[in-house]
Amino acid sequence: MARLPDSFLDNLRMSNDIVSVMSTYVNIKRTGRDYVCACPFHSEKTPSCHIYSETQSFYCFGCGAGGDVITFIRLIERLEYMESVRFLAQRAGLAMPDDEISDDGANFRTRLLEMNREAARYFRDMLLSPQGKTGLDYLLERGLTPNTIRKYGLGYAPEGWHNLHYHLRSKGFTDDEMEAGALVTRNNNSLYDKFRNRVMFPIIDRRKNVIAFGGRALEKDAKAKYLNSDETAVFHKRENLFSLNFAKNTEEKCFILCEGYMDVIALNQAGFDNAVATLGTAITPQQANLMKRYTDEVVISYDSDEAGQKATVKAINLLGEAGVLARVLHIPEAKDPDEYIKKFGAESFRHILSKTETAIDYEFGKLQKGIDLSTPAGKTAFLQKAVAFLAELRSDTERTVYISEAARLSGQQISAITSLVKDKAAKNRFYRQREEEKKLIRGDTKRDPINPDSLRYPAEEKAERGIIAFLFHSPDRLKDVETKLKEEDFPTEFNRRLYGFVKKRIKSGETVDISSAGSEFTAEEMGRITGICKQGDMLPYSLPRLDEYINVLIKFRDKARQKPVSEMTDEEMLAHIEEIKKKRQN
């Protein structure tokens, strides 16, 4: 990949202030000169993602994600480096440099999207052909109109092993592309269609690209009633929602979160274009944050069985962490929205939708289950649960309301409960912050995918990080490092590569900062680099500290070079003894 001019990249970042960009994806809160937010890349109750306006960077002390605005877009939009640059250039109205920049990854994804679009056309045509009669009959029996079938691009995958396979071949797509796009399956070096005798639901992203498919089996004894596409270069199920392409344009004040495709389609047909569903999995933090971009309120419409209740609790927690008001829908006399609307009509459904209880009401009611509030022991047990629950609420207003309710139920003074909740919340913050700081200082070396060598060389890896952080802060100190260490003296591969990059930038007179590493390192590696810099900032940048780091690597190098005593010649043995004597005298 050709390198973009630093001047263009500097202009790109200046035109896309990281606070402004990130605020379109997450709720941010100012703390002094900087900002914090709940990390959009993992689930958390206390915001641990920090945005540094001065350095135009971000870092999550919880999961280690970090980097500049380009890295953020790479992670949040699941784009490659050059695609993220183009995304931000378009956002800011900047023209890309004239020179041709190859991006094999982007071209490959474009091919997959074209292939998915052709597959969707094929499935649609099959549904409307004599071969698709069983699929069309199923959809019509479920009450879907031809207009709804057309709107969602529903289709049919016919029986047989190579229908789609050979069709896509005839359109110029290769077997490798079909396998990479999860449209065919390989078994003993033989390829065959993944979807067979199924009603097909195209999954369409916010940019109107067909990114994947869901298939509903028509055979009663099928092993899997619903079969979804495997993840591909263009499809990450944790980060997408079914029917979001319609819901994002709704005029309704909320989204309705359903369990399956048919619930969503039935609601849309009944006039509720704000319905979405997760893609074969429980809700994820990424999906919660995705909904937050378009609405501040989500009504959870899950089954009332045990599995549905567990899924509801998880959805409540994740939506709350994303800053979304969650409500819980109870559907009387029906198992799901589709059945209710068929029985009682759309207006009746809209009525019960308006009567939904807040997620906090739902959770608060659960605290009372199994407790006899007429006894002192029961009131004490309830109060303990209530204080723990209220201490985790992010909204001061909601906390005040439910403290009053807890006081009424337990017979305690509001002031007493307020004090208990305040103390509990402070302790929670203290312990979480302490764990984050410990993790950052010591480095998280367990199952380290970025720098696997850190497990073998924990002390040396920490010294490497210290030296690199020092050079980011004080590039003029490179000569102090180079006089004593060579690049190969860094024992861990990732830090050695990062040191080599920093050294090269300094020697060529180029700027050394987090942003400068973006084109050379992955988005995940950018998080580690940002963490190294933030770790360094927690300690003073003094020369004795730098010397201490250097000495750790010198000792390691000298020890590695030293021959075993059994292999030394007489001359080497005498020299070794003299060296030991000198060290003892010093």
The amino acid occupying position 122 is Y
pLDDT at 100: 45
Q: Which residues of 493-516 are buried (b: 16+ CB within 10 A; e: fewer)?
A: ebbbbbbebbbebbeeeeebebbb
CB atoms within 10 A of CB 550: 20
* pTM confidence score: 0.62
Q: What is the 3-state secondary structure (H, E, C) of 162-177?
A: CHHHHHHHHCCCCHHH
Q: How far apart are CA 525 and CA 522, in angstroms?
A: 5
Q: How far apart are CA 301 and CA 322, in angstroms?
A: 18
Query: 58 - beta bridge partners?
Result: 51, 67
Closest CA to 518 of 18, 84, 87, 25: 84
Structure tokens at 137: 């009959």
Domain locations along the chain: 6-92, 105-235, 244-356, 368-440, 452-579
Surface-to-core class of residue 377, CB atoms within 10 Å of its CB (0-12 exposed, 13-18 middle, 19+ buried): exposed
Report the Cα 355 to chain-centroid distance in Å.
Answer: 33
The gap between the terminal CA atoms of the chain, to the nearest Å, is 53
Structure tokens at 426: 């402070």
Q: What angle do CA 161, 132, 235 make, to 5 degrees?
A: 60
Q: How far apart are CA 243 and CA 152, in angstroms?
A: 8
What are the tens digits of pLDDT across the range 266-312? 999 999 999 999 887 788 888 888 888 788 889 988 876 667 777 87
Q: How far apart are CA 148 and CA 13, in angstroms?
A: 43
Indicate the SS3 state at residue 122.
helix
The CATH number of domain 6-92 is 3.90.580.10: yes
Cβ-based neighbours of 92, under 8 Å, separated by 6 or more: 12, 15, 16
CB atoms within 10 A of CB 145: 11
Cβ-based neighbours of 582, under 8 Å, separated by 6 or more: none
Asked if 424 and 399 count as a contact pair (C-beta separation under 8 A), the reply is: no
pLDDT at 412: 80
pLDDT at 445: 44
Torsion angle of C-alpha atoms 301, 305, 308, 312, degrees rounded to 10: 70
Measured in degrees and rounded to the nearest 5, phi and psi for residue 202 equal -65, 140
Tell me whether the CATH fold assigned to 244-356 matches the one assigned to 452-579.
Answer: no
In what side-by-side order are the strands of the sheet with 357-358?
Answer: 275-277, 255-258, 297-300, 325-328, 357-358
Measured in degrees and rounded to the nearest 5, phi and psi for residue 508 equal -90, 5
The amino acid occupying position 138 is Y
CATH number for the region 452-579 comes to: 1.10.860.10
Indicate the SS3 state at residue 157.
strand
Percentages (nearest 5) of helix, strand, coil residues in the chain: 55, 10, 35
Helix 346-354 / helix 337-344 crossing angle, nearest 10 deg: 120
CATH number for the region 105-235 comes to: 3.90.980.10
Q: pLDDT tens, position by position, for the chain (586 residues)?
A: 456 787 888 889 889 999 999 988 888 888 888 899 888 888 777 788 999 988 889 999 888 899 999 999 988 887 888 888 988 988 888 888 754 444 555 678 888 999 999 999 999 999 999 999 999 999 999 989 999 999 999 999 999 899 999 999 999 999 999 999 999 998 887 899 999 999 999 999 887 889 999 999 988 777 778 888 988 888 888 888 999 989 988 888 889 998 889 989 999 999 999 999 988 778 888 888 888 878 888 998 887 666 777 787 788 878 877 778 888 888 888 878 888 888 888 899 888 888 887 766 776 777 777 777 788 888 888 888 888 877 876 666 667 777 887 888 787 888 888 888 888 888 877 776 666 556 555 554 456 788 888 888 888 999 999 999 889 888 888 988 988 998 989 989 999 999 999 999 888 878 788 888 888 888 889 999 998 888 777 777 788 888 999 999 988 888 776 656 566 566 656 666 666 666 566 5
CATH number for the region 244-356 comes to: 3.40.1360.10
What are the tens digits of pLDDT across the range 543-586? 888 899 999 998 888 877 665 656 656 665 666 666 666 656 65
pLDDT at 99: 46
